[in-house]
Structure 1
């Protein structure tokens, strides 16, 4: 399998504060790769650095073999990368329909009706709430909308940042089930940042552990689940 995404020795900063330190990882075509770590480890910064906000100070970000390190975010999106960000960041005063239209504009609404039907099949609640203001949806429905909005651009690579954050266990199960189904049925490549290490490692083909801006462990999801240090830190009451 070829690499869809590759980070080579990436370091990035917020002002004088270094957030990522010489990070190297890859995501192969058709994989779900997860990145786990504690709060403040740099997980969300890594996701934003892929989109050039902040830009990598050193190292390179490669997408399908092309160096996208210096590209502006809108050009990166047009190449086939979509992000469902931490905190969802939907447009609360706009309807579900209008939020989905915002996602589709990246590809100039190509195949909009077909893509919309796919989103309704994946998340039936969105069809029920189609004309409703997004800000009035439940937390789980808002997360479904954030993911669907990203998928409306027909991405080759989907970046998911903390999709389970603040959600009830049943809704988390639905969200992770949808991610698994998308990957199995369409071959969508996914990079998942997630604090729910148990769910994320069970879902992922491969995984990385980020500690203080550095990759400290890597392996298959099953391999990391079996490591005592991972269980102690992330699965048995660790933070």
Structure 2
């Protein structure tokens, strides 16, 4: 376990939709400079945890601490102004805006003196976005939209990047490219990443540590390598899924 205070700590969190309990006493830690992944089947509660961290829905019990501050009851706009950026499930780019305008939206809370430098970095990571910068977001391929969603998140200069199912619906080659960029950002920039994924093989190979969620509860934790080696993980999430 890494030393020191975690950048993000989720402690005993329970979340409900009305009377239906979606998260059951979830404990997760993400330390500075780590890539931590949460894997689980569709409907396990992974995206609910991501949304709970972002304040919508809010945790009914438990505590979420980010950078030493309790954010459990804060509204979403306050949480997202604290150097946290999210690339949400389903990408959710602004379809009528150009690539450039989408990236400008990501930078809206940042000092504009950094804009050109940050834009250059995003275009270096995703050369396809540079080629498509005048094109509307809605006309991009799924892979290009995912690149744009991540690029938009990076324009806010986050300390913590939340990625929700970045590989969903993408061709294996594009998935490989997206995961390579995440690895590069972590290795070269020291960016802290919390990654929610169904693609357990890629996610656990990438992550320093991982958690497994089943029916809203954490059932396993360990290094990425440890979880990849476990029979329960292999049979539940990797059979036929190694690309």
5 Å matches for 1:75-154?
Answer: 75-154=78-157
Partner of 2:72: 69
Q: Distance in 2 between matches of 1:233 and 1:3?
A: 29
2:174 pairs with 1:179: no
Matched, 1:218 2:221: yes
Map of 2:210 onto structure 1: 207
Q: Whole-Å Cα distance in 2 between the matches of residues 88 and 201 of structure 1?
A: 21
Write the distance in 2 (CA, Å) between the matches of 1:171 and 1:152.
Answer: 21
Indicate the residue corresponding to 1:19 in structure 2: 22
Aligned pair partner of 2:197 in 194, 197, 202: 194
| SS of 1:78 mapped into structure 2 | coil
Q: Which runs of 4+ in 1 moved over 3 A?
A: none
Which whole-Å CA distance do the structure 1 matches of 2:118 and 2:64 have between them?
Answer: 29
What is aligned with 2:235?
232
1:11–1:23 Cα contact (<8 Å) kept = yes
Give 1:36's aligned residue: 39
Tell me the CA shift for residue 132 of structure 1. Answer: 0.5
In structure 1, what is the Cα distance between the partners aligned to 2:72 and 2:180?
A: 32
Q: Deviations over 1:169-209 (max 9, x none)?
A: 11001000000000000000000000000000000000000
Mapped partners of 1:86, 1:109: distance in 2: 28
Cα root mean square deviation, aligned: 1.0
Structure 2 unpaired stretches of 5+: none
Secondary structure class of the residue paired with 1:116: helix
Cα distance in 2 between the residues matched to 1:16 and 1:60: 20
TM-score normalised over the length of structure 1? 0.98
Corresponding residue to 1:166 among 146, 159, 169: 169
Q: Deviations over 1:213-235 (max 9, x none)?
A: 00000000000000001000000
* Contact preservation (8 Å) 1:5, 1:64: yes
